[in-house]
A = this chain, B = another copy of it.
């Protein structure tokens, strides 16, 4: 990485663009303006687009018919930096040591989107031109859930029309190991409320003759799994794609063993659906989880009440090709069929997100793999999925109709959202080269 590029990166990191803190509103906008100016200096058309929240930066080259259109996405906002006392230096005064930059936002996401900017800048400098029609979108609200992004996408479908989207905001399995996150789980949420007596009752005076809603809820929740850890809702697995042999093969070689999972979670032992490895359970199998539940007296000591009601908040992590609305219907039918008439069961449907999968062996997925191989000296990319959701990916697909390629540059020890977040300059260089290779591979795909 040349000194000018490194200096520009450190400039970008000096903006305390903390989107959640109203006091930093000016810093957030200043950061966006810096990005716009940088795009313009590179020779792109760029615009600061106001939203109900923080502005979106939009940029593009001169589009020409007959070429692929590629959107690169990133975000210039960052997490708060506290606890400040755990930082080795002020979080917005970046420090470079042994080729690693430490600062809030270094990896998430400034380092990762700026690498793409550097790639484009380099291509334009060397060739005066890119091999594709480019759109570059950098938002300022990712760390607060992107509330303005969906309205922006909906209002700008034409300006954002593209064939494929690429972003670097996920992880690499190890340093120097190219990684393609080709799948995400979706989710769907339900809240159960079981009501028995009109008020909490004395458990001596009435207990035995009146159903206990907490017990009824426990029985309903227990009915969600069988003894093998499978979700016991009829039809739950109907749409689930089997883990393919090439995926089993690809995952078995990853440096992400069960020992690491035990260490990271502190659980006494791993658990889950029989017949699958831990990675398969997280990446390719759906779940039914209780996120929270409550009933009756929760204070110190005891209180002999028979509670009036009990509730549980559930989410189901979904995998391709499960449909969130169908899963909700099946779970609701399962629970209603098992609920005794001595309590009332109310079920509130919560938010959903669709699971996501790009085939890394064909089309743009295969192009991404070729680009990763070229960038990392021929090393075969790790093909991974993620157990969580990236809501914007589903939004892109829904609103713009385009798949997203998740080509992360975050290292396992990058400390995002934590003190001493860091990013190696090496990855800034990898990212810039990846961007150039990717645009070329997509142009040729």
Contacts and interface: CB of A to CB of B under 8 A. Distances in A.
Nearest to A276: B208
A295 B210 CA distance: 24
A222 to B, nearest CB: 4
Interface in A192-229: 196-199, 201-212, 214-215, 217-219, 221-225
A212 to B, nearest CB: 5
Contacts of A315: 203, 302, 304
Interface stretch (A133-141, A237-245, A385-393, A405-413): A385-393
Given A294-B298, A387-B208, A344 B268 contact: yes
A292 interface: yes
A223 B215 CA distance: 10
A362 interface: no
A313 B296 contact: yes
A207 B285 CA distance: 10
Nearest to A215: B290
Interface stretch (A67-75, A80-88, A335-343): A335-343
A282 B208 contact: yes
A290 to B, nearest CB: 4
Contacts of A215: 221-222, 224-225, 288-290
A295 to B, nearest CB: 5
A302 to B, nearest CB: 5
A248 to B, nearest CB: 16
Given A209-B272, A317-B203, A291 B282 contact: no
A305 to B, nearest CB: 5
Contacts of A303: 291-292, 313
Total copies of the chain: 2
Nearest to A209: B278
Contacts of A299: 292
A61 interface: no
Given A268-B196, A302-B291, A317 B207 contact: yes
B292 A388 contact: no
Interface stretch (A8-16, A42-50, A51-59, A259-267): A259-267
A289 B297 CA distance: 12
Contacts of A222: 215, 218-219, 221-223
Interface in A267-285: 267-273, 278-279, 281-282, 285
A31 interface: no
A261 B215 CA distance: 20
Given A204-B389, A214-B292, A215-B225, A267 B297 contact: no
A189 interface: yes
Interface in A94-146: none
Nearest to A185: B204
B269 A341 contact: yes
A302 B351 contact: yes
Contacts of A269: 211, 341-342
B302 A313 contact: yes
Given A199-B266, A208-B272, A209-B271, A297 B305 contact: no
B203 A289 contact: yes
- In this complex, the member of A224, A271, A286 whose beta carbon has the largest number of chain B beta carbons within 10 angstroms is A271
Contact of A211 (B197, B271, B294): B271
Contacts of A185: 204
